[in-house]
Amino acid sequence: MSTSVTADAISARHNCLTRQEPLVRQGVLKLLAIKDSDIRILTLEQCRDAVDKGLHSGGAFSATLPLVSLFYSGFMDLDIADPTFRGQDLFVLSKGHAVAALASIYADLGYFDRSVLKNSRSYESILNGHPGPLLPGVHISTGPMGQGFGVAQGFAIAGRTAPRFNSFCMVGDGELQEGPIWETAMYAPQKRLDNFCVLIDRNNGQLDTSDRMVFPMPDVEKVFSAFGWRVIGADATDYEGVYAALEEFRYGPRNGRPTAIVCYATKGQGGFSDSLNKHKVTINNKLMEQELGQQANRREERVEDFARYCNRLGESPEGERARAILLDVARQMHLEVAKDSLGRMSAADVIGPVLTRRVPPRDNWVKYDVSLLPQIDAGKEYAASDIVTAAMKVFARDPAVVSIDADLGSTSGLQSGVGAVDQNRALNTGVAEANMMNIGEAFAVLGHNTWVSTFCPFVDWKVLRRIAVGYQERLESMRARDGWLTEGHGLDLTILATAPNFETRTNGATHMGNDDNTTFDAMAHLKIVDVSCPQQLLSLMQWIMAGNRGLLYVRIMRTGSAVLYPSSFEFEFGKAYVLRESAEDRAVIVSSGRGVHEALAAAKKCAEAGVNVSVVDMPSVDEATLLRLYDSGKLLVFAEQNNGYLWQNFLKTLYRQKKQAGDMSRVLAINTLDRDGRPQFIHSATYEQLVAAFGLAPTQLTETILKELRGGSISPSRN
């Protein structure tokens, strides 16, 4: 069996399956019905063999007919041997609850061994309750509703360039209640994504309510049509309608509109017992035996129906030709058709063999001419957005670099930088941060060095968490001895978070970035960097362009700042930098971002008062330096324009290293926590008012340090 289904093979097969070949077409529909039974039996067996005997049966069964139509009718160009090979069609199961049906199909096609279907949901299994990159051939983690749709749209945007490919997605009708769905539904037609096809599982059920939605849904066809989609309604209780709709998308004229196929069915469609109509079920052995038996009987009836059809084709040249084509199609569907000595036809399901191999490593190093990067004058001030724009005009000459802004392109500098090289790789989703992040993940999955940007508080935590889950699964697949991914197949996704700390100033509490880094610090696999200097930012961007840096949350200042570092500076994640130091230092100020400039000004004032103070810039947490400073015996001052990100990491570092918290009176934390050490939001004010309100102005820092060194009593959590 071929290791892939090539575009030429699909085209050749289609020449035999057009409406001018009705004999073949009817036979193909009957073969799809047989395949339908195979997938349902495999799905039920998953439930029987699962660690919890559970199955999201309602959505998995209603999704089966559209999924079988998509994967077995030749409408997708797939490279099963290498699912990462660029140019093949891509699929996203946005309604991740239907993973059992998808896993059955993937095992059958040869993405992984049938044994993977056993013991699912267990800690040892790579087949979880929702899909993710642990499974070969699955590119992203889904399950949180409304997000996979946006990633599939990102694939479609990438698929509009060379090499061109189609992007397919399945969503549920309950999933349409999620806001990010409509961010994508509005954006895709504006990008003229006529290579994008979404299958909407309109099963009219939600959770364990199998016959109605939680609240009445509008006419889905009219809504999608109003947004500019080509909409096709299809009866998803029979193969004719869905097959015809997919055929229209795959081979019909492309008119710049994405396609939505509304698949009308019922929850649990294709199951015998009404027990399967629920969202998730646990099936006892007696019911499982009964359901498997009835599915097997239905399969036998479908095989007999196909056999009768082949016999009716007769011995004419047209009949012989149609029969030969159908036998070839059956093999492509992993069905082995044979006749016994009595002339009775059988059609055994041929699962596998496993075709997916460990994919080749991917080179993620962005190529650029260093001499073309902006030259930063140490005597001038620069806005971070200007550095981003100038640098991106160089980096984006490598087609691997992509940027997506949400509305605030002028604030980040990304769009003007990347767009100056290739406007097709400088996207802006408007006021749609979730869509921005989902598209960003799509490009990162495809191997791009991807940058997304919005205000710090607007980054969608829910979407970011799902992306981080998928990133972790990719890492696990790369590290596993039998994993399908290799070096370079992680994600290079940088979130450029603008206006952190006190940079937002008079825009109000909803826009202030004083809590974002402490919030996102709980996100696994996310590297947080708080930039203090234009030269530091440029070096950081070069570090990111080396590739394989993972998920980065980079906080950049909005207004101009002085240059603190020389042109020779090289950024290193997890490293602090001493900007001012002497042998006689009695205190150390640790800060990041704009706070570093205030710390340097305070250190200068302390020196004028006869007290030497060193300044440490800690753009990312440096545990070794934190421990060294704690052990130095000097007064340690954490001066931060946020809810104490470095301060809290200092405490965690002491705990992890089992350091005895000795005399903490020589450790001061000055930040935006309230006087009881609790997080809070801050309101509109000028920058000068804000630093003064929280004791972070240079004069105030100086007074605090001098008073403490002279024996004053200042609470270590003073704000």
Q: What would the pLDDT profile of 471-528 be if each residue is shown by its tens digit?
A: 999 999 999 999 999 999 999 999 999 999 999 999 999 999 999 999 999 999 999 9
Query: Which pairs with CB-CB distance under 8 Å and at least 24 residues apart come from 664-667?
Result: 664/716, 665/716, 666/633, 666/634, 666/635, 666/636, 666/708, 667/630, 667/635, 667/636, 667/638, 667/716
Instruction: Clarify whether residues 35 and 63 are in a common domain.
Output: yes
Instruction: Clarify whether residues 554 and 631 are in a common domain.
Output: no
- Side by side, which strands form the sheet with 635-639? 577-580, 613-617, 587-591, 635-639, 667-670
Residue 464's closest CA among 452, 479, 447, 478?
452
- Write down the residue that tokens 């058709």 correspond to: 337
Residue 36's closest CA among 119, 104, 93?
104
32 in Cβ contact with 243 (< 8 Å): yes
Predicted pLDDT of residue 717:
39
| Number of domains forming the structure of the chain | 3
Q: Does residue 203 form part of some domain?
A: yes
Instruction: Clarify whether residues 181 and 216 are in a common domain.
Output: yes
* Cα 615 to Cα 587: distance, rounded to the nearest angstrom: 9
Q: Does residue 362 form part of some domain?
A: no
Among candidate residues 301, 333, 361, the one where a domain is terminated: 301
Q: Does residue 13 form part of some domain?
A: no
Phi-psi region of 574 (alpha: psi -120 to 50; beta: other; left: phi over 0): left
434 in Cβ contact with 183 (< 8 Å): yes
Instruction: Clarify whether residues 518 and 616 are in a common domain.
Output: no
Q: Does residue 718 form part of some domain?
A: no
Q: Does residue 584 form part of some domain?
A: yes
Among candidate residues 562, 593, 615, the one where a domain is terminated: 562
Q: Show the low-confidence residues of the chain (pLDDT under 70).
A: 1-20, 660-663, 712-719
Among candidate residues 529, 562, 595, the one where a domain is terminated: 562
Please give the DSSP secondary-structure letter assigned to residue 530: E
Instruction: Clarify whether residues 113 and 220 are in a common domain.
Output: yes
Instruction: Clarify whether residues 556 and 584 are in a common domain.
Output: no
Please give the DSSP secondary-structure letter assigned to residue 365: P
Q: Model pTM?
A: 0.95
Q: Does residue 555 form part of some domain?
A: yes
- Write down the residue that tokens 């508080």 correspond to: 457
- Write down the residue that tokens 């049906």 correspond to: 101
Residue 445's closest CA among 141, 73, 673?
141
128 in Cβ contact with 50 (< 8 Å): no
Instruction: Clarify whether residues 504 and 530 are in a common domain.
Output: yes
Instruction: Clarify whether residues 497 and 376 are in a common domain.
Output: yes
Q: Does residue 18 form part of some domain?
A: no
Predicted pLDDT of residue 251:
95
Please give the DSSP secondary-structure letter assigned to residue 617: E
Predicted pLDDT of residue 501:
97
* Cα 350 to Cα 337: distance, rounded to the nearest angstrom: 10
E strand or H helix that includes residue 563:
none
Predicted pLDDT of residue 2:
40
Q: Does residue 714 form part of some domain?
A: no
* Cα 48 to Cα 63: distance, rounded to the nearest angstrom: 19
Predicted pLDDT of residue 12:
42
Chain centroid to Cα 315, Å, comes to 54
Instruction: Clarify whether residues 63 and 106 are in a common domain.
Output: yes
Instruction: Clarify whether residues 435 and 528 are in a common domain.
Output: yes
Instruction: Clarify whether residues 437 and 494 are in a common domain.
Output: yes
Instruction: Clarify whether residues 592 and 624 are in a common domain.
Output: yes
Residue numbers of the domain that contains 487? 370-562
Predicted pLDDT of residue 16:
44
* CATH code assigned at 398: 3.40.50.970
Amino acid letter for position 108 = D
Neighbour tally for 648: CB within 10 Å: 20
User: Can you read off the two tokens belonging to residue 16?
Assistant: 């035999």
Q: Which residues pair with 715 in a beta bridge?
A: none
Phi and psi at 382, nearest 5°, equal -135, 140
